[in-house]
Amino acid sequence: MSDLDAYSSLFDLTGKTIVVVGSGSGIGEAGALALAAHGAEVVCADISADAAEQTAATIVSGGGSARAAVVDTGDAHSLNELYSSVDRLDGLVHTPAINVRKRLLEISEDEFMKVVSLNLLGTFHAVTAAGRRMSDQGSGSIVAISSIRSQVVEPGQGVYAATKAGVLQLIKTLAVELGPNNVRVNALAPGVVETPLTTQIKADQEWYDAYASRSALGRWSTPSELAGPIVYLSSDAASFVTGSLLVVDGGWLAIDGRFNPPL
């Protein structure tokens, strides 16, 4: 193989089996499609059987390799069964999250626990169970979705932000602990993305426009714009990348404040 051939195959996922949890919609669906397009055999996992099957069917109809699976990230046994169903677990992409947009003094304990249970505990279940399997086989890549809210926050985002900061710290710790076993662990930090999670914001034009103007590119992103970073972190192109937060926010974090001074 020539040097050019070696570089041309950096993003080739042929022969890799990658589980995408949350593949029924949004970032998870886009990631599953992109991973399959680069040759991976994708297990499209979701709490909704219909959504998982639809994503898998889309991949197969396009000539890719995929199957659907139902999984509940609140149930560690469900995740262990999912990972045991594949001969090898070369990659995990974990995307599920929920948000309750209320100020901290107004949010109930039940609402707090609802967000924490899915976003933080669910991620913990998913990545640690995958980490055990990958450690045993001596290789693998884990990608979990954090958020720009792990870095910055606004009123009404406190609990969500706390969980996404927690996800980032779990990922960093797992990267350190699994590095000796040749397992890479990274997080993605999207900005504002057109997904079901942001339906409440999209329904308010002023709110929607304010978020669009907050990024350097002046718009929201689509789930497909997170697909490339997912493929990158899952592939050999990122063979020396672990414990990292890859920010994909259109420049949101680069901007200091919303006011554009008259310079």
User: What whole-number distance in Å separates Cα of residue 150 and Cα of residue 186?
Assistant: 14
Q: Is 133 helix (H, G, I), strand (E, B) or coil?
A: helix
Three-state SS for 190? Answer: strand
Residues 240, 115: Cα–Cα separation, whole Å: 32
Which residues are the active-site residues?
A: 147, 160, 164
Distance CA 170, CA 177 (A): 10
Quick one: tokens of 45? 């996992």
Q: How far apart are CA 192 and CA 91, in angstroms?
A: 25
What sections of the chain are H helices per DSSP?
3-8, 26-37, 49-61, 76-84, 109-116, 122-137, 158-178, 199-202, 205-214, 224-234
Listed residue (100, 199, 225, 249) closest to 208, CA to CA: 199
Residue 233's region, left for phi above 0, alpha for psi from -120 to 50, else beta, is alpha
